Structure 1
């Protein structure tokens, strides 16, 4: 049933007609509930409310798979402007980016130049930028570029997905660079030749990666809404005497707000992944595919006053 639900939501995520309708008519419903807003400015009040509770944020301008150079340039400038606004508003906020939104599918040199422009601005204002991971076919290019940029810039991190077979080896290769890593289960539909497809196998590999990364002593983000995975991380940290300031829990904006506040009250670092922009539909469907039970939390967010 979980596999069928996952495939169903991934199918919906690629439906152009539904995506068009969501962008045209649904953004007013999504804004402030599952996304911060249709632009960064409208997201700022939501970020400030979270910061007042001691909860940190990472923001992401929605949109991916860009094939137009001008659009990639516009997305790059949007990210730079966001970093400048974060500094001006003194927000406790990082930035997440998808390389395909900056031109990865157009030209590797283009996206390299765009990332350097972004990271120069991020360095100036001391804002960490996390390179999101996309589907497996783009994984190696993403990690290669991350590794290259990490030689030049300190404030850059990336993401490792637990459902990919390669992820443990990727962590081994990356850890010599002392990177900031966000660990996630993964939300794209992959072939069985490259990824675990059973829920239990993904969860077990996620646990293995969490332990492996926490034992390095490198600051790590564990991105999950799964109560059992949260509990596992807490117990593991206690058993290994890993201090609470060595890792953080990350969750999606608009989901599990009570859990977020409870974790913060217990002394854990909590960061909320807050996307913004009108291209929210595909993102939302993939989150439901990742964990179909998220739909109950999402619907509560969409219907609350």
Structure 2
């Protein structure tokens, strides 16, 4: 109960514009916060992030590179975001290794309309190196229906997309079936947002059970899932039961486990976000640690 309350309090802080403004306004405080966040952040610039990506690739790991941000509210902000993603996509060609580009739909205009977001996302596909994919991030439950529509529309148009499904959402079995019918591979996560009880399973065992059931459902559909969790017991059980399944882990979290799994021949991908908007992401990682 105490951990759950602490997690909720930290999530509230993670989404607090006021707190972020206070931290960012005082350079020594900002520097201290960034020093704590560094383990989870590939860099504050693309050049810094590419150094991290090359290190991970050198360790035999696949990578998903993501530019921080969410909730773009106007076309001017969108233009800058698209330029940033496009620069990142183009840079992947020089990295080598198995590197995807992760995108956050609301960062690319989803809240302004599905067509707006799709138009911007389609621009990025042209810059992806051969063999790479667009890994589409999950967001709050209220955005999930639009994200599913976007993902399937892109796949039907031939875009190389990888969907994200949140195990804690009660709607997810239906989303999995829809994605599998469209031939879209799935990354399965437990779910990083606090949602109402009628929308989502409770954090903990209830979500863990939903995760296992969905992993089996995805595998039975003919596409090995990408299991995004650091729960080693859960991972080992699922990897044994689901041949071909891969793993995705967060930068800065149990990297020794990632290298050990990769050394055993398990496909392991590391999520490596970068950019100046690191504060909320870091606070979410701290909050999640309370529910581990």
Normalised TM-score (structure 2): 0.92
Q: Which residue does the alignment assign to 1:297?
A: none
Kindly indicate whether the alpha-carbon contact (under 8 Å) linking 1:56 and 1:92 is maintained by their aligned counterparts in 2: yes
Q: Which residue does the alignment assign to 2:11?
A: 10
Q: Which one of 162, 176, 197 corresponds to residue 192 of structure 1?
A: 197
The residue matched to 1:207 in structure 2 has which SS? helix
Q: Which residue does the alignment assign to 1:62?
A: 68
Q: Which residue does the alignment assign to 1:79?
A: 85
* Residues 48-103 of structure 1: CA deviation (Å, up to 9, x unaligned): 11111111110110110111211112111211111111102324311111111111
Kindly indicate whether the alpha-carbon contact (under 8 Å) linking 2:68 and 2:274 is maintained by their aligned counterparts in 1: yes
Note the 1:127-206 alignment, pairs <5 A. 127-206=132-211
* Residues 112-139 of structure 1: CA deviation (Å, up to 9, x unaligned): 11011112322x6432001101000000
Note the 1:278-297 alignment, pairs <5 A. 278-292=276-290
> How many angstroms apart in 2 are the aligned matches of 1:69 and 1:133?
22
Q: Please, which runs of 5 or more residues in structure 1 have no aligned partner?
A: 295-305
* Residues 187-211 of structure 1: CA deviation (Å, up to 9, x unaligned): 1111111101241110000000111
> How many angstroms apart in 1 are the aligned matches of 2:257 and 2:70?
30
> How many angstroms apart in 1 are the aligned matches of 2:107 and 2:91?
20
> How many angstroms apart in 1 are the aligned matches of 2:279 and 2:163?
23
> How many angstroms apart in 2 are the aligned matches of 1:19 and 1:229?
35
Normalised TM-score (structure 1): 0.88
> How many angstroms apart in 2 are the aligned matches of 1:249 and 1:178?
19
> How many angstroms apart in 2 are the aligned matches of 1:39 and 1:102?
19
CA RMSD for the aligned pairs?
Answer: 1.8
Runs of 4+ in 1 over 4 A off after TM superposition: 21-24
Kindly indicate whether the alpha-carbon contact (under 8 Å) linking 2:239 and 2:245 is maintained by their aligned counterparts in 1: no
> How many angstroms apart in 2 are the aligned matches of 1:271 and 1:145?
23
Note the 1:41-120 alignment, pairs <5 A. 41-120=47-126
Q: Please, which runs of 5 or more residues in structure 2 have no aligned partner?
A: none
The residue matched to 1:121 in structure 2 has which SS? coil
* Residues 135-156 of structure 1: CA deviation (Å, up to 9, x unaligned): 0000000101111111112411
> How many angstroms apart in 1 are the aligned matches of 2:281 and 2:125?
24
Matched, 1:207 2:221: no
Q: May I ask how many residue pairs the two structures share in their alignment? A: 286
> How many angstroms apart in 2 are the aligned matches of 1:93 and 1:112?
22
